[in-house]
Structure 1
Amino acid sequence: MDKKESFNRICQNKVFLLETLSVEAEIILQHVQQAGIITMREYGNLSDIPQREKRVISLLDKLMGKGEETCRRFIELLRKDDILEIFPLLKDHAVISSPANPVRQYKIAQNPRGTCVIINNVHFATLKERIGSDLDQKELAKVFHWLGFEVVVHRNKTAAEMKNLLEGMGKTVDGDCFVCCILSHGIKEGVCGTDENVISVDEIREPFNGINCQRLIGKPKLFFIQACRGKRNQNRVQVQADSSEDGESEMEVDGDDFDITIPADTDFLIARSTTDGHLSYRDLKEGSFFIQSLCRKLKKHCPEGEDILTVLVHVNNEVSSQGIICKQMPVHEVAMRKKLVLLPP
């Protein structure tokens, strides 16, 4: 079992516990004190908090601050019949379940966590300028810096420069996790450089596999790609297409259309802004649907202990509901062996 299994359960289910236990905040405090999990003085201090929601959140924070053993005792308390009678929503919930083979988590302990590289192609030889992409770059840099990553930004790279840059990083990058964000025009075969030549997803991923990047063996490697994956689009005001074949379209589609399968290499996650054959949309004043949603959901759910795949489901749900005429569905390819939780340091 993970050495922080109980701590992580409370962290990941904090919102649920807050909503459930706040109904009878004083009763759960009494049971926790009677079980010797908190002292009488701590019980008194918590009881003095006027709002029951704040009382419960303070209790959860205190338990987590005491460490794994205290968290384990608290979860054992929640499993008792008298507690389940008072809080029936706890029954069959993941927070108190006892899976025979729980999914382990990647160890994310270093600070900085690792490197987040952002490649932002805005200006091209003949293709339309990707107006609004700088907003994506700014928000990505802010969020991943907040999550504890060293952020490195590169702008306006040709396909060859992108390939050389990634190959160079594969030889030197280190840390508990690696993140690569690529913002560009795209076609079915891959992502466009500023010279309109194409780099495939395999060429983007390959420098970081276990053969070429031994420092990241067994560590999570995340790729977020905002680029078109085809020509199919539905025009809408103030939207442009990031396709090299979109002509005069004012729709910005940031999709990448590469035929990617789950790589044989492990610990990879490749999240793409749109499905095969479709455009990916970018608002000229607010940034792309996918990247902006990704940043919002990371800021909201990472502090709650949600794993990255669950965060991406939230992103999929939000992006797929955006637009009246234009529709977009992000997708991701997963070759992960464990859960990845990115708590802000």
Structure 2
Amino acid sequence: MEAVEADVNELMKEMDITSQRENTCLCRPVIINISKTYWGISAKKRPSASRDQELLLKTFEELGFADPYIISDTNSHLETDPLYSVENLIQELQKIARTPAHTKDAEVFLLAVLAFGEFGYFYLPNTPKNDYQERERNPPKFSTNLLMSHFNGIHCLGLIQKPKIFCVQTCSDLLKQKDRSEFTGEIFRPEENRIPIDADLLLFHSTISGGYTDKMTAVTRVARGEVIDQEGDHPACQFVYSLHKAVRTLVNELGEFQLDDLILRVNLLLEEFIDKEHYVSDIRNQPWNIDPVLPICVDQLTKDVLFGTKLNGPS
């Protein structure tokens, strides 16, 4: 016990002089981007995956963050890949927690997840080793609680008293269009969520998928205004697009801003998207079997988090 206390005291001394270090940065984010998940040998794709990542990279650059560390499912069929299994991803998260660039040498920790899933968890790729050999019939789930647990003050001393932000975008694999004459279908029921008790932590979890706007024609997206992501064949998830737009607007208008300002701005944009039914497709006038809902935001931060161009020089 005395040895642990000594380690903590030593770390606190180091944190007091963090701003004097040459290699200090505001944040080096982590992005987990899963574009495809297999149920048996049947794959479901997230067409928004590349656009989501592109907008996140622009957003982090706007905020003056260092280059993100990206974990993608490009080689998830390999047994050594971080996304091959729950065990592999746990090992990767433990490695990140031990990396000073993400923790001890950064002022803020930020991890973004882009994947299939629901509130409370996301699916791993479950990629077959080849075209004939399937993995599990259902892909493994990775809970957001397990994700966050690797970066609390108990398991990651380098992040004690530092803000830890998790942005989780989980697209529902049940999302589909249906004919207006249909009255049946699976109803989305969020799983029970446990509220994190770790201080200096924020979870921003959205399920507003890119699928809601992917079926729109380009003409319709343009006609419905800036609330819809108009660029490219496959729009980004509306949460990611709204985050990007909110950061860009706040930086231009204020130069610096609180994290609370960003959350409120994002939710206002998503509220407009939902209330005005901008997500309704114009393909055969079919509704969705799952309506979009505002993100869950759990805030346990004990100090203000200030972002903006006035605060951060080149990373």
**Structure 2 residues not aligned, in runs of 5+:** 1-16, 74-82, 127-138, 180-184, 215-233, 281-290
1:263 aligns with 2:214: no
Q: Relative to 1, partners in 2 of residues 1:280 and 1:155: Cα closer, same or farther, differing over 3 Å?
A: same
Code of the aligned partner of 1:119? I
Partner of 1:243 in structure 2? none
Secondary structure, counterpart of 1:306 in structure 2: strand
Partner of 2:249 in structure 1? 300
Secondary structure, counterpart of 1:227 in structure 2: strand
Cα displacement string for residues 252-294 of structure 1 (whole angstroms, at most 9, x for unaligned residues)? xxx99553333221110000114xxxx6444432210001101
Q: Distance in 2 between matches of 1:129 and 1:205?
A: 26
Q: Relative to 1, partners in 2 of residues 1:123 and 1:280: Cα closer, same or farther, differing over 3 Å?
A: closer
Q: Relative to 1, partners in 2 of residues 1:188 and 1:221: Cα closer, same or farther, differing over 3 Å?
A: closer
1:140 aligns with 2:56: yes
CA contact (8 A) 2:259 2:305 kept: yes
Q: Distance in 1 between matches of 2:93 and 2:178?
A: 35
Secondary structure, counterpart of 1:224 in structure 2: strand
How many equivalent residue pairs? Answer: 219
- Calculate percent identity across the aligned residue pairs: 22
Cα displacement string for residues 43-84 of structure 1 (whole angstroms, at most 9, x for unaligned residues)? xxxxxxxxxxxxxxxxxxxxxxxxxxxxxxxxxxxxxxxxxx
Q: How far off its partner does 1:320 sit?
A: 1.9
Partner of 1:318 in structure 2? 269
In the superposition, the TM-score normalised over structure 2's length comes to: 0.62
CA contact (8 A) 1:188 1:256 kept: no
Code of the aligned partner of 2:47? I
Q: How far off its partner does 1:321 sit?
A: 1.4
Cα displacement string for residues 306-339 of structure 1 (whole angstroms, at most 9, x for unaligned residues)? 2112211111111121134454312211100112
Q: How far off its partner does 1:183 sit?
A: 0.2
Cα displacement string for residues 6-35 of structure 1 (whole angstroms, at most 9, x for unaligned residues)? xxxxxxxxxxxxxxxxxxxxxxxxxxxxxx
Q: Which protein has the bigger helix share? A: 1
CA contact (8 A) 1:115 1:152 kept: yes
Superposition CA RMSD, Å? 3.0
Q: Distance in 1 between matches of 2:18 and 2:243?
A: 20
Q: Distance in 2 between matches of 1:289 and 1:236?
A: 21
Q: Distance in 1 between matches of 2:70 and 2:52?
A: 12
Partner of 2:31 in structure 1? 118
CA contact (8 A) 2:116 2:173 kept: no
Deviating more after overlay: 180-189 vs 256-265:
256-265
Write the mapping of 1:52-201 to structure 2, written as runs, cut at 5 A: 112-125=25-38, 126-150=42-66, 151-156=68-73, 157-160=83-86, 161-172=88-99, 173-174=102-103, 175-187=106-118, 190-195=121-126, 196-201=139-144
Q: Relative to 1, partners in 2 of residues 1:142 and 1:330: Cα closer, same or farther, differing over 3 Å?
A: same
Structure of higher RCO (CA pairs closer than 8 Å, 6+ residues apart): 2
